[in-house]
Amino acid sequence: MSAVINCVAYAGGQREQAVDIADICEVLQRPGRFVWIGLHEPDEDLLEQVQAAFGLHDLAIEDAHRAHQRPKIEVYGESLFIVLRTVQMNGKENKIEFGETHFFVGLHYIVTVRHGSSLPYTDVRMRCESTPHLLKKGPGFALYALMDAIVDQYFPVVDALEHQLQALEEVIFGESFSRETTARIYGLKRELLEVKRAISPLIDICNRLMRFDLEVLPPDTRPYFRDVYDHTIRINEMVDTLRELLTTALEANFSLISITQNEVMKTQNEVMKRFGGWAAIFAIPTMVAGIYGMNFQWMPELNWRYGYPVVLTLAFGLCLGLYIHFKRSGWF
């Protein structure tokens, strides 16, 4: 797959033609045009070409090449450099995958540089082309459309995390928790922190896009960035709520472990009482029998006619008495 996904010139919001990167300067000499370039993990050569075409800053190009940046916005004169983190659920493993998209936005161009896991922006481009009256606003509108698409990808991810929490709640309060429950709570916390780190700088980025007084962001694009801002705030709030619930869930889980412990202990107590009680009951006739098994010459009871039944009756009577006693005091 080539690193240049798309490179198209637009005039008055209408797709004009696909352009070769080498011809960009020429194309832009005709007035009212802007170029929208989509790159995917470009090499240094390609980035240098792009840098040359639009006069981009060394540090921004270095960032776009190296990737692994945190989301940020930087203004270089009249042009913008924006870094966003994209997010996606890996369907098979149910894991969150992060990627990065870098934007260079100027009066006559918008360049996107994708890194890592992320969907191509072909859909966004098509949707923009279908509303030329909006795309006519220039690269600023394209930037909005792309940011909107990126932020919208966070909703299914946060929903998935919410479902994981709900599943955990059922496990925790359904008496079936185990060592694994704690590990899952911890894992969920880790994922939440990562999503938080990816999304929270966007609040500030949108805020500044709504306030910048640059030609590339005409005033009528502001409501659009405010829209992205609102979505970002909502995702942030969802993540924060999840985080606080998770903390409470961890504590609740802990106190339920302790309650289970209490229950186990109570069972233990009952087992011990029952065991102790029966031991006492058995001990009496055994002791009595031992006594009358002694070989003393002078043991008058042994010669009595009813010695045997009387002793037996007494011993087992005592057993019965004990049994009733334990029954009454709740031991049995």
Q: Which of residues 248-267 bind a copy of itself (CB under 8 A)?
A: 248-262, 264-267
Alpha-carbon distance of 151 to 147, in angstroms, equals 6
| 208 interacts with a copy of itself by CB under 8 A | no
Shortest Å distance, C-beta 22 to a copy of itself: 26
Determine the size of the site formed for a copy of itself (CB under 8 A): 90
Residue from 312, 318, 323, 332 that binds a copy of itself (CB under 8 A)?
A: 312
Beta sheet of 14-18, edge-to-edge order: 14-18, 4-11, 33-40, 109-116, 95-106, 79-90, 72-76
Residue from 66, 92, 179, 328 that binds a copy of itself (CB under 8 A)?
A: 179
For the four alpha carbons of 9, 205, 98 and 46, in that order, the dihedral sign comes to: positive
Shortest Å distance, C-beta 244 to a copy of itself: 6
Shortest Å distance, C-beta 311 to a copy of itself: 8
Residues 32-61 that bind a copy of itself (CB under 8 A): 57, 59
Residue from 98, 292, 323, 332 that binds a copy of itself (CB under 8 A)?
A: 292
- Listed ranges 13-21, 35-43, 119-127, 291-299: which one lies at the site for a copy of itself (CB under 8 A): 291-299
How far is residue 186 CA from its own chain's centroid? 10
Supply the angle between the helices 139-152 and 154-173 in degrees, to the nearest 10.
Answer: 20
DSSP-assigned states of every residue in 58-121: HHHHHHHHH--PPSEEEEETTEEEEEEEEEEEETTTTEEEEEEEEEEEETTEEEEEEEES---S
Residue from 49, 117, 182, 207 that binds a copy of itself (CB under 8 A)?
A: 182
Residue from 20, 167, 244, 329 that binds a copy of itself (CB under 8 A)?
A: 244
